A and B are shown apart, each in its own frame.
Chain A
Amino acid sequence: MTRLAWIRLAIVLGAFAALEWLVQSGRISTHTMIPPTRMVTELWAILASGELTGDITQTLGNVAIACLLSVTVGFVVGAGIHAIPRLRRALDPFLTTYYAVPFFVFYPLLVYIFGMNNLPMIAIGFMFAVVAMIINTLNGLDKIPRVYDKVARMHQMSRASMALRIQIPAAAPNLFTGLKLSVAYAFIGVIASEFILAPGGLGYAIAFAYDNFDNETMYALMLFILVLVTAINMTLHYLEQRLLRRQGF
């Protein structure tokens, strides 16, 4: 590990230690917060008992579907828009202001239309993630040097071969950024939806614990999400570094 990573680790651990001390010493009431060590033991108990395995798989399944959909659809749509410059110019302002629209207000409507099942959550996760993928696909395709066109023609490559062998690898850094954002946004979308209104899942379990003054479960699950999302982010970051560092990006 690098020196910077050690410092980071020390800061995170320090923050948890400080929180532990604040709660243990009674400076923060246990009605608001529980000590981090309790969160860990509580989380361990919950995971061992298996009572939330269903919620966890439901959430992860929804996130995975939303991700997969948004990455493929985002890529295809992005490539399509890129191919039609005039459409692209007209859509640009909508794409850049897209995230200003708080999409969660559509969520109740979606529940109303699809019913109380996984579809509305997947839809929100998708709506949230897909535009990040579209924008990054466009950015990636924009950055492909025009001379590669000529190289492809010198090698008498077909359109498909050119897309596969030149355009996708050339746009890979941005496509990966799109993938990373899609994962993060799909998580935010799905968990937030579960939180507001859902038949189950991690977000629902947290909201349920909150409504029942069950702080132990609530904080244990928050810790779980924190660790899970951080682990996924770090994995993606690591893969990205490995994939791209050698290329000098």
Chain B
Amino acid sequence: MSRSSVYAIDIALVVLGIVVVWQLLHMGAGDVAISSPAATALRAGELLLSDAFWPHAAETGLALFYALVIALMIGLGVGTLLGGHRLSGDVAEPILVALYSLPKITLYPVILLVFGLGLEAKVAFGAIHGVIPVTIFTMNAVKNINPVFLRTSRVLGMGPMQTATHILLPATLPEIVSGLRVGFSLTLLGVIIGELFASHRGMGFLVMRAIGTHDVTTMMAVTLLLAVAAVLIASLLLYIDNRLHRRV
């Protein structure tokens, strides 16, 4: 058997293991606490086919998208500036790391006070989570550009635009994608937390509503859909990341 097919089987075994553990938990805790994998998958299918589900999914997706775009724009801009200026970068790095490890949820009320309930608050909250890793990764990528590259571009008589597109971008892109990958996870987390607390729309809201009505199956189905979507997107980003880093 080839190595890749062994690998595929191993991955399938891991997934199977997760399902088995889930089923055992279900059998131990009963229907009221944990719904079975089969029932959850069935309900997830129903949700995907129902009209009531999609506006919520779209709300979450939209909030995630806006938040990512904002986090990316600010993170790339600030990260480039900090990376290009040694002193600023050295001053900022520990502050950024400290901000990264802060429980930003405590700031959510401030966001709500500023933006009110709704999409904007979720977007802002998601962006706050995602912007820091993107900034840190971009900063390090720019800081660590091999200076020989820049001298080469001068020797070759390249203008600023050409230097940016043909040297800076390819040299920093792998690290920036790594930052985006970490940023994606946190942005999604921010958006979902935003929806769990003080929100009337989105997947997070669906989870809270289902728990309110003691509908465990729906709650778990929404959770499952979120988890699967998140893992798929993250795997895609991981694949791109690995490709850019020449790891595959």
Contacts and interface: CB of A to CB of B under 8 A. Distances in A.
Interface stretch (A135-143, A146-154, A160-168, A226-234): A226-234
B103 A187 contact: yes
A91 B14 contact: yes
Interface in A218-249: 218, 221-222, 225-226, 229-230, 233-234, 237
Contact of A195 (B101, B108, B231): B108
B192 A104 contact: yes
Interface in A87-141: 87, 89-91, 93-94, 96-97, 99-102, 104-109, 111-113
A231 to B, nearest CB: 10
B148 interface: no
Interface stretch (A35-43, A50-58, A202-210): A202-210
Contacts of B11: 90, 93
A69 interface: no
A91 B10 CA distance: 9
B185 A99 contact: yes
B207 interface: yes
A184 interface: yes
B191 to A, nearest CB: 8
Given A11-B91, A108-B208, A196-B193, A102 B226 contact: yes
A31 interface: yes
Contacts of A209: 109
A188 interface: yes
A191 B100 CA distance: 15
Contact of A102 (B105, B106, B188, B219): B188
A102 B113 contact: no
A1 to B, nearest CB: 13
Contacts of A96: 234, 238
Given A112-B211, A229-B101, A101 B230 contact: yes
B110 interface: yes
B223 A109 contact: yes
B95 interface: yes
Nearest to A88: B10
B71 to A, nearest CB: 15
B184 interface: yes
Give chain B's interface secondary structure class: helix
A90 B248 CA distance: 16
B184 A100 contact: yes
A175 interface: no
A222 B188 contact: no
A79 B103 CA distance: 29
B240 interface: no
B101 to A, nearest CB: 3
Given A113-B34, A191-B103, A90 B10 contact: yes
A97 B208 CA distance: 24
Contacts of A188: 101-105
Contact of B196 (A87, A100, A196): A196
Interface string B28-41: 01000110000000
10 contacts: A32-B110, A33-B113, A89-B10, A90-B10, A93-B235, A102-B193, A107-B196, A109-B223, A206-B109, A210-B109
Given A90-B10, A101-B226, A101-B227, 15 more contacts: A8-B95, A31-B113, A89-B10, A93-B11, A97-B234, A99-B186, A102-B230, A104-B192, A188-B101, A203-B106, A207-B197, A218-B109, A225-B102, A229-B98, A229-B102
The 3 residue pairs across chains A and B that have the minimum distance between CB atoms: A184-B101, A90-B10, A100-B234
Interface of A: 4, 7-8, 11-12, 31-33, 86-87, 89-91, 93-94, 96-97, 99-102, 104-109, 111-113, 180-181, 183-184, 187-188, 191-192, 195-196, 203, 206-207, 209-210, 218, 221-222, 225-226, 229-230, 233-234, 237
